[in-house]
Structure 1
Amino acid sequence: MKAVLATDLSAASEATIENETCLECLGRIGVDEMHLVTVIPSNVHAGMPGIDFEKRRRNAISNYERVIGDAGFDVETHVVRGTPHRRIRGIAETIGASLTVVGSRGKSPLENRVIGSTARNLARTTETPLLVNRIEREADDPAVVRQHLFQRMLYATDFSENAERAFETFSYLRHATQEATLVHVETPKDPGLAEDTDPEGRLAELADQLEAWDIETRIEVRQGDPADEILAVEDAVDPTTILVGSRGHSRLRRLLLGSVSEDLVARANGNVMLVPPRM
């Protein structure tokens, strides 16, 4: 299983790469080949006086390559030029990656939880499952917020086809997952389900599948704004990662995140894994 690990060589990226627990989690779900990617922005030119960005990046990324190799992965590095999210996405698609991992800071100085432009653009356009790995923001020596990436999962579903695809990732996440909380939020604005549908019964069926893999599972049906309610559950159960399909019901959102998914990526306390629809 191949994974792309995107880095801008910042202290936050270093925290993701050098955290042994994160690497162990990736190995546990079947990742054995890691592609380490850093992108030199198009507006940075090799001929700029006194600066050789490409050489500096190659020297820095070689240190990360050793860390990943020592952890037992086959590793390949890519130092490329262009628009970061487009080049990262292109490499993931070219190598047939099963997962893309990108680090993202937590709270902004304005107390508004945001993600960086690269993570946001990847979330909106990726055709590969994307793990937004949350990093401490206000720290000189930042650390990952949730070290055990897949130990306690919060899976949010609207029972759409894409939500079902997100659930399918438990087929490999289960090797690192011990607990799971399954959540559906009923909302009058977009009910999405037939009147005779039993959300609790459908969640119970999914829970039975996870229990068969020895994953301790609980279910919860809520009413209200989906993003708000899912984040309330996050506060209550403290998952290591929220798992969600990356687009909602609308067929017009083929290149955009559904509003719920975008809210979760921007506002969640911890990691968020987005699974895009089949293309």
Structure 2
Amino acid sequence: MKAVIATDLSAASEATIHNETCLECLGRIGIDEIHLVTVIPSNVHAGMPGMDFDGRRQRALDRYGEVIETAGFDVEAHVVRGTPHRRITGIAETIGAGLTVVGSRGKSPLENRVIGSTARNLARTTETPLLVNRVERDTEDPDVLESHLFRRMLFATDFSENADHAFGVFSTLQPATREAALVHVLTPKDPELPQETDPSARLAERADRLEAWGIETTTDVRSGDPADEIIAAEAEYEPATILLGSRGHSRLRRLLLGSVSEDIVARAHGNVLIVPPGAQM
């Protein structure tokens, strides 16, 4: 499987690349080819006085490539110009990537301005499963918050077709996952769940599947605002990564209304893995 790792060559975005355990986790779920993508914003020019952009960029990519190759992956670098999330999405689709990885420092508007806004835009528009990998804040040499990316998972479901599709990703994550918490949030705003349906029973069915794979599983039915309750569940269960499906609204709705998945990307403490409708991993 191919993966795209998006990097703006900052300390935050290179944390996954230099963390051996993170790379090992990617290998464990079947990734064997990594494409490094760095996007040059349209307003940055190589000839700006005092700035050796091309040289710095190439030295950084060479260093990243050596780390990834040493970890046992094939690696290819892409340097492109344009809008970051659009170019990253385009390359992921072109090479047939099964996963896109982007680093994010988290909730600080200032620190999260560049790569963080890219993460949010990717969450809104990606056609490929997207892993938003959290790194430490308030340090010049950050590390990832969770080295074992998939060991403890929190799966949030509204029992929609998109959520069931996202649950199927566990078949890929299985070699790297040891624990899972399955969460459903009861809300009067969600018309998709028939009143006669027992959410506890439906979670139990999914838990049985994971238990058969040796994944220790907990189920939790909560009530309230979906995003608020998913964030509260993250604080309680302390997963490495939250897994959820995106609803795949039309382009206009994605741009104007946002979604629970976008909200979780913006607010979660740890990693978030978003699976768009129909995406394969």
Alpha-carbon shift at residue 278 of structure 1 (Å) = 2.1
Deviation per residue, 1:202-255 (Å, 9 max, x gap): 11111111111000001011111111111111111100000001227x668764
Instruction: Give the aligned partner of residue 278 of structure 1.
Output: 278
Q: Distance in 2 between matches of 1:191 and 1:123?
A: 23
Instruction: Give the aligned partner of residue 177 of structure 1.
Output: 177
Alpha-carbon shift at residue 13 of structure 1 (Å) = 1.5
Instruction: Give the aligned partner of residue 78 of structure 2.
Output: 78
From the superposition, tell whether residues 125 and 109 of structure 1 become closer, same or farther in structure 2 (CA, over 3 Å).
Answer: closer
Q: Distance in 2 between matches of 1:5 and 1:233?
A: 28
Indicate whether 1:194 and 2:194 are aligned.
yes
From the superposition, tell whether residues 50 and 115 of structure 1 become closer, same or farther in structure 2 (CA, over 3 Å).
Answer: closer
SS of match in other structure, 1:38? strand
Instruction: Give the aligned partner of residue 241 of structure 2.
Output: 241
Alpha-carbon shift at residue 111 of structure 1 (Å) = 11
Instruction: Give the aligned partner of residue 12 of structure 2.
Output: 12
Matched-pair contact (CA < 8 Å) for 2:99–2:128: yes
Q: Which amino acid aligns with 1:180?
A: A
Q: Which amino acid aligns with 2:272?
A: V
Pairing 1:51-70 to 2, within 5 Å after superposition: 51-70=51-70
SS of match in other structure, 1:220? strand
SS of match in other structure, 1:12? coil
Q: Percent identity?
A: 74
Q: Distance in 2 between matches of 1:91 and 1:265?
A: 22
Q: Which amino acid aligns with 1:136?
A: E
Deviation per residue, 1:125-149 (Å, 9 max, x gap): 1100000000111112111111110
Q: Distance in 1 between matches of 2:83 and 2:122?
A: 11
Alpha-carbon shift at residue 198 of structure 1 (Å) = 1.1
Pairing 1:29-44 to 2, within 5 Å after superposition: 29-44=29-44
Instruction: Give the aligned partner of residue 144 of structure 1.
Output: 144
Instruction: Give the aligned partner of residue 119 of structure 2.
Output: 119
Deviates more, 1:150-159 or 1:55-64: 55-64
SS of match in other structure, 2:264? helix
SS of match in other structure, 1:174? helix
SS of match in other structure, 1:116? helix
Matched-pair contact (CA < 8 Å) for 1:231–1:268: yes
Pairing 1:21-32 to 2, within 5 Å after superposition: 21-32=21-32
**CA-based RMSD:** 2.2
Where does structure 2 lack aligned partners over 5 or more consecutive residues? none
Matched-pair contact (CA < 8 Å) for 1:242–1:272: yes
Q: Distance in 1 between matches of 2:199 and 2:164?
A: 14
Matched-pair contact (CA < 8 Å) for 2:131–2:274: yes
Give the length in aligned residue pairs: 278
From the superposition, tell whether residues 110 and 77 of structure 1 become closer, same or farther in structure 2 (CA, over 3 Å).
Answer: closer
From the superposition, tell whether residues 105 and 111 of structure 1 become closer, same or farther in structure 2 (CA, over 3 Å).
Answer: closer
Q: Which amino acid aligns with 1:277?
A: P
Q: Which amino acid aligns with 1:19?
A: N
Alpha-carbon shift at residue 185 of structure 1 (Å) = 0.4
